[in-house]
């Protein structure tokens, strides 16, 4: 038999007997004796020639919530590099390890104990003095003030957000009640008992004393614009429906005495100073080390975990 044409770009397929014995086929069973080897998740990471194992990196990533797995791995890599950097320095300095126990009685690992003792010995954090604490107090009065308090009543015309017809009806009724109350303020409690879907209707709509965050944002923004004694001229819409609000007293927040918050301020200042000092110490060690796979440059995120 003569071959008329052979495509040179196609290799001839091996011919094998069919399993059923009926002629021949070009099919070959794939070789599955050696499974393909998975590639590494990340590039090699090492500190002064000491590699960070991929299994350790994946385990550490569980402690670093992020928007995506890549972000968690990056934060985990930085944390492990910092830990290895401090561990190597502790061993270089011959830090004598004295493992402690946490509040649950669990002992520290040798590495954690060495790092803790290293930082205690090498990082000097000054205590916060009276002048520094008072200056922070005077520059941040909002942090040390009690929350303002308001007294308010309301009438809630309830309607589910997805029920367009009910929302429209509730809005119309709420506006009629607002118009009525513009001339007859004394009817507020009776109208609350008759129309409000809030349990406060039993007290004439009285919500008592409210602080920031006690109500939905729309309600809160409305009372911030109102003067004590006023009734909202138009209904206030929220996901619950429509509110008619009567604002009572408003008590502004008061600045707490310095003596009452001095210890808290000192704790904040010393914690901030400690974090900054440790970050600077780590940055110095990183500048002298041979680190591969991770950057610990200043400004790329916190170095202290």
Tens of pLDDT, residues 39-98: 555 678 999 999 999 999 999 999 988 888 888 899 999 999 999 999 999 999 999 887
d(CA 185, CA 176): 13
What is the count of structural domains for the chain? Answer: 2
Domain for residue 68, yes or no? yes
* 253-275 mean pLDDT: 93
Q: Is it the case that residue 303 has pLDDT exceeding 60?
A: no
Domain for residue 83, yes or no? yes
Tens of pLDDT, residues 181-222: 999 999 999 999 999 999 999 999 999 999 888 899 999 999
Q: Read off the pLDDT band of 102 (50, 70, 90).
A: confident
Domain for residue 118, yes or no? yes
Say if residue 158 is in the same domain as residue 201.
Answer: yes
Q: What is the CATH number of the domain that holds 237?
A: 3.10.50.40
| Token duo for residue 244 | 């008619």
Domain for residue 32, yes or no? no
Say if residue 156 is in the same domain as residue 244.
Answer: yes
* 155-165 mean pLDDT: 94
Residue 225 has phi, psi (to 5 degrees) of: -90, -10
Q: Structural domain of residue 103, as residue ranges?
A: 46-126+266-292
| Token duo for residue 23 | 């002629």
CB atoms within 10 A of CB 180: 14
Q: Is it the case that residue 270 has pLDDT exceeding 90?
A: yes
Say if residue 228 is in the same domain as residue 279.
Answer: no
- Sheet containing strand 241-251, edge to edge, reads 206-210, 149-158, 241-251, 236-238
Say if residue 60 is in the same domain as residue 116.
Answer: yes
**pLDDT for 302:** 43
Instruction: Write down the pTM of the prediction.
Output: 0.56
* 283-297 mean pLDDT: 89
**pLDDT for 86:** 96
d(CA 240, CA 225): 21
Say if residue 247 is in the same domain as residue 272.
Answer: no
Domain for residue 103, yes or no? yes
**pLDDT for 200:** 95
Say if residue 247 is in the same domain as residue 270.
Answer: no
- Token look-up 């009724």 returns 173
Domain for residue 24, yes or no? no
User: Which has more pLDDT, 301 or 219?
Assistant: 219
Domain for residue 143, yes or no? no
d(CA 196, CA 193): 6
d(CA 258, CA 256): 6
**Chain-wide mean pLDDT for the chain?**
85
Domain for residue 6, yes or no? no
Say if residue 181 is in the same domain as residue 121.
Answer: no
Say if residue 80 is in the same domain as residue 112.
Answer: yes
User: Of all residues in the chain, what percent carry a pLDDT higher than 70?
Assistant: 83
Question: 80 with 56: CB under 8 angstroms?
Answer: yes
Q: Is it the case that residue 2 has pLDDT exceeding 50?
A: no
Q: Is it the case that residue 269 has pLDDT exceeding 50?
A: yes
């Amino acid at each position: 038999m003569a071959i008329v044409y052979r495509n040179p770009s196609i290799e001839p397929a091996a011919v094998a007997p069919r399993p059923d014995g009926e002629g021949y086929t070009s099919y070959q069973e794939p070789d599955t004796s050696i499974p393909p080897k998975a590639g590494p998740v990340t590039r090699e990471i090492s500190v002064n020639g000491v590699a960070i194992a991929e299994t350790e990196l994946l385990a550490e990533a569980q402690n670093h919530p992020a928007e995506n797995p890549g972000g968690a791995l990056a934060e985990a890599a930085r944390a492990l590099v910092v830990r290895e950097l401090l561990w190597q320095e502790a061993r270089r300095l011959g830090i004598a390890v004295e493992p402690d126990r946490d509040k649950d009685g669990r002992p520290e690992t040798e590495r954690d104990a060495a790092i803790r003792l290293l930082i205690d010995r090498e990082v000097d954090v000054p205590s916060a003095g009276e002048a520094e604490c008072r200056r922070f107090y005077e520059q941040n009065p909002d942090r040390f003030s009690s929350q303002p308090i308001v007294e308010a009543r309301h009438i809630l015309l309830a309607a589910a957000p997805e029920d367009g017809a009910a929302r429209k009806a509730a809005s119309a009724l709420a506006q009629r009640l607002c118009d009525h109350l513009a001339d007859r303020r004394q009817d507020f409690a009776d109208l609350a008992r008759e129309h409000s879907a809030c349990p406060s209707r039993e007290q004439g709509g009285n919500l008592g004393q409210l602080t920031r965050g006690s109500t939905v944002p729309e309600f809160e923004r409305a009372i911030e614009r109102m003067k004590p004694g006023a009734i909202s001229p138009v209904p206030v819409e929220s996901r619950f429906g429509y509110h008619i609000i009567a604002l009572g007293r408003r008590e502004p927040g008061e600045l707490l005495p310095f003596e009452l918050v001095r210890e808290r301020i000192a704790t904040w200042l010393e914690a901030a100073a400690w974090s900054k000092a440790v970050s600077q110490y780590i940055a110095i060690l990183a500048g002298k080390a041979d680190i591969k796979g991770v950057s610990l440059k200043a400004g790329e995120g916190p170095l202290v975990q």
